[in-house]
Structure 1
Amino acid sequence: MIAAQYSFTLPATFPMSDIETRVRNLGHKLDSFPGLGFKAYLLSTQQAGSKINRYAPFYLWKSETGLVNFLKSDGFRGLEDSFGRPQVIQTLPLTVYTSDQIKQATFAVRDSIPVYPDNALSDLFEQEDTLGSLQKQDTNCVAYVASLDTQGWELQRWRFYREQPDEIQECENMVIYQVGNISIGSEGNESAY
């Protein structure tokens, strides 16, 4: 498995309704994409209390082959034509929980936590397994992904919710997103690249 995200920061005057319309009209195109676990079409807007306007999809891929095939696709080419080529950040999933109600997600939260050299990685992996088990017990949480950026040594915790939890507020190491759509990939055969 591999997690990936890219992000476009948009001007304060950018009509975010254009992104919402784009997601509504094109979001279904990745449904059943081979090798895709799921894609969350994520938005943060100043209108909803975020510091900046951002379009920042998150992907959970079953393999690198699915990601490579997506990067070669007409869909990614269309994204490049509209917004430019993004930097695609790839991370290694440590813990993944997805419920069968994942398509009901309306909010996502990403926590970014530095992993320092004195942090034992084996302890980190064990800790994330425990946190993942706890998320399964939260009836509002429909997915949880903890992934590790081994280039910048940062842990990313992704939580996907049916409704925005009251106690969560955006801060320096946390971003709250609205979920415009969730696409679920297929179990089908991935062609080799």
Structure 2
Amino acid sequence: MIAMQYDFPLPADYDMAIIDRRIRDKGPLLDNLPGLKFKAYLTARKGDTATGSRQNLYAPFYVWQQEEGLSDFVCGPGFLALTENFGRPQVNSWIAWHAETSADIRTAKFATREVVAIDVDTSLAEFRAKETETAARAITNGEALASVVAFEPTHWTLVRFHLLAEPPKDPARSRLQTYNVGHLSLPGVA
């Protein structure tokens, strides 16, 4: 599996209702998309106390079953339309160590993403085992509705991503970006 995210930082005075409308209109188009485990349509608003965001963002997060899904999407008409409206973003991608969803994923209202550097002296095998266990426990303990941990070996970063029913207790924590979930595209949506 592969995780992917791009983001569009938007001006402080940007009318975020435009993004909300885009999500409402375009979100269902990716429901049941072959190869997609899920897509979370994410936003953050400057000054929103639930997210603690310092800026306006539109930042969808995807988990693909295989890299072909990512490639087909980025090369397809939907992504082309996005780039025509907002420009071509930098697409971040990570190789998933663990990506799990709960039966209640559809109740997600918030998401968190944390990107951390992997220290050069870190044992990757031990780090992977620890991070995978922690990600799985977030689902088992009911802390998250989806839990993803993934890495990329170009800049040696790790991403921890969670979908949540409630906002995190400390949304402004360093390195943690909190979002609102506008729509989830999932397999098996009628």
> CA 1:72–1:185 in structure 2 vs 1: closer, same or farther (change >3 Å)?
farther
1:95-139 deviation digits (Å, cap 9, x = unpaired):
111112212111001112210110100111110122023202332
CA distance in 1 between partners of 2:141 and 2:182 (Å)? 22
CA distance in 2 between partners of 1:78 and 1:85 (Å)? 10
CA distance in 2 between partners of 1:169 and 1:108 (Å)? 10
Q: Percent identity?
A: 36
**Off by >3 Å, runs of 4+ in structure 1:** none
The TM-score normalised by the length of structure 2 is 0.93
Match of 1:68 in 2: 71
Match of 1:116 in 2: 119
CA distance in 2 between partners of 1:140 and 1:88 (Å)? 28
Match of 2:14 in 1: 14
Aligned length: 185
Letter in 2 for 1:180: G
Q: What residue ranges of structure 1 are gaps of 5+ in the alignment?
A: 187-193
1:35-73 deviation digits (Å, cap 9, x = unpaired):
111100011111413111110000000111111111122
SS in 1 for 2:145: strand
SS in 2 for 1:79: helix
Match of 2:27 in 1: 27
Letter in 2 for 1:44: A
SS in 2 for 1:46: coil
Letter in 2 for 1:172: S
CA distance in 2 between partners of 1:160 and 1:122 (Å)? 26
CA distance in 1 between partners of 2:165 and 2:143 (Å)? 6
SS in 1 for 2:137: helix
**1:33-182, aligned counterparts within 5 Å?**
33-48=33-48, 49-165=52-168, 167-182=169-184
CA distance in 1 between partners of 2:165 and 2:9 (Å)? 25
Letter in 2 for 1:57: P
SS in 2 for 1:28: helix
Q: RMSD of the TM alignment (CA)?
A: 1.3
1:6-44 deviation digits (Å, cap 9, x = unpaired):
010000010111101110111000011111111000111
1:135-155 deviation digits (Å, cap 9, x = unpaired):
023325110000102111111
The TM-score normalised by the length of structure 1 is 0.91
Letter in 2 for 1:178: N
Q: What residue ranges of structure 2 are gaps of 5+ in the alignment?
A: none
